[in-house]
Structure 1
Amino acid sequence: MKKISDHISYKEATHSAYAKQKGIANKPLASSIKNMERLAEKVFEPLREWVGGPIKVNSMFRSPELNQAIKGAYFSQHLQGRAMDITSMGGKTNLEMFHYIKDELDFDQLIWEFGVEPKWLHVSYKSKKDNRKQVLITQRKGKYYTWADCKNC
């Protein structure tokens, strides 16, 4: 079976129940696969080692058609395989993983997704040179979502 990294299969990185249900293709280009491998190497695998066990990959790559269908951000880094949404599976909490990524790892963007403790984390990686180390929190304003600076989280 094709693998993105030691602990992420190609199937897991491209899985979308919504895409499957709606018959939407979710197949990355070779350049997106390289980005997914880099994200896994620089963020996911070091985080998993620190957690000491599995982490659920909710979403990694999204095709343009899938991203549009789920009303994803127009310039979502998921489109290039540069972002992933992850959730704790018990080794550490989402909050603990958030702080570990923020304080110990190199990343482009880290987003605390909803709640007193994050329901899930969005994390992206571009390159050592281009990473912004941007830390945000998602907020709901009526039917819209906004992102606020979260460096003091």
Structure 2
Amino acid sequence: MDIHTKLTLHFTLNELIRSTSASELGIDNTPPEHVLKNLILLCTNILEPVRAHFELPVRINSGYRCIALNSAINGSQTSQHMTGQAVDFEIDGLANYDLALWISTNLVFDQLILENYVNGNPNSGWVHCSLKKDVNRMQILTINGRNKHPGLIN
């Protein structure tokens, strides 16, 4: 599949697999077919509804990570990024807390994490959101550095 292939109306495969670290380290971050299905599900059920609601472009910081890439960046060994079920993203000019809050009350997800957000600095941090095909936990966390808290903390 060509990296410029649209997975959904507003999101291309390239946006979900692009990685500066992979490029610098010479890691092929091309996903297998079963991961493509997960990425399409993620775009359809998380990213497209977010874009439609806020009517603003979504900036993807991290999508799919192959095992080698995840290991190279010291990602979690159980990261859903490796299965194409998770994405880290933000919307420029929108507080990530507000983005996470909207997702928490409007979408079905497996895990929603507000990461490294600083109240008063709307562009700080990012939102991590994952989605499974079947049963989703609807787990909500706020993580700042090494501190992990249940729920969204502004």
TM over 0.5: yes
Cα separation, 2, equivalents of 1:12 and 1:98: 20
Q: Give the CA deviation at 1:98.
A: 0.7
Equivalent positions of 1:99-118 (< 5 A) are 99-117=101-119
Deviation digits for residues 66-120 of structure 1 (CA, Å, limit 9, x no counterpart): 0000000001000000000001123x33121111100111100000101324510
User: Alignment partner for residue 123 of structure 1, among 121, 129, 138?
Assistant: 129
User: Alignment partner for residue 84 of structure 2, among 81, 84, 92?
Assistant: 81
User: Given the two structures, how large is their TM-score scaled by the length of structure 2?
Assistant: 0.89
Cα separation, 2, equivalents of 1:102 and 1:86: 15
Amino acid at match of 1:13: L
Give the ranges of 4+ consecutive aligned residues of structure 1 lying more than 3 Å apart after TM superposition. Answer: none
User: Alignment partner for residue 35 of structure 1, among 35, 38, 42?
Assistant: 38
Cα separation, 2, equivalents of 1:14 and 1:146: 28
Cα separation, 2, equivalents of 1:35 and 1:26: 15
Gaps of 5+ in 1: none
| Contact 1:4 1:13 survives alignment (8 Å) | no
Residue equivalent to 1:96: 98
Say if 1:24 and 1:54 are closer, same or farther in 2 by CA, change over 3 A. Answer: same
Residue equivalent to 2:73: 70
Across the aligned residues of Structure 1 and Structure 2, the Cα RMSD in angstroms comes to: 1.5
SS of 1:2's equivalent in the other structure is coil
Q: Give the CA deviation at 1:146.
A: 4.8
**1:137 is the counterpart of 2:138:** no
| Contact 2:81 2:87 survives alignment (8 Å) | yes
- Structure having the higher strand fraction is 1
Deviation digits for residues 109-139 of structure 1 (CA, Å, limit 9, x no counterpart): 0001013245100000003x41100001113
**1:46 is the counterpart of 2:49:** yes
Cα separation, 2, equivalents of 1:121 and 1:72: 16
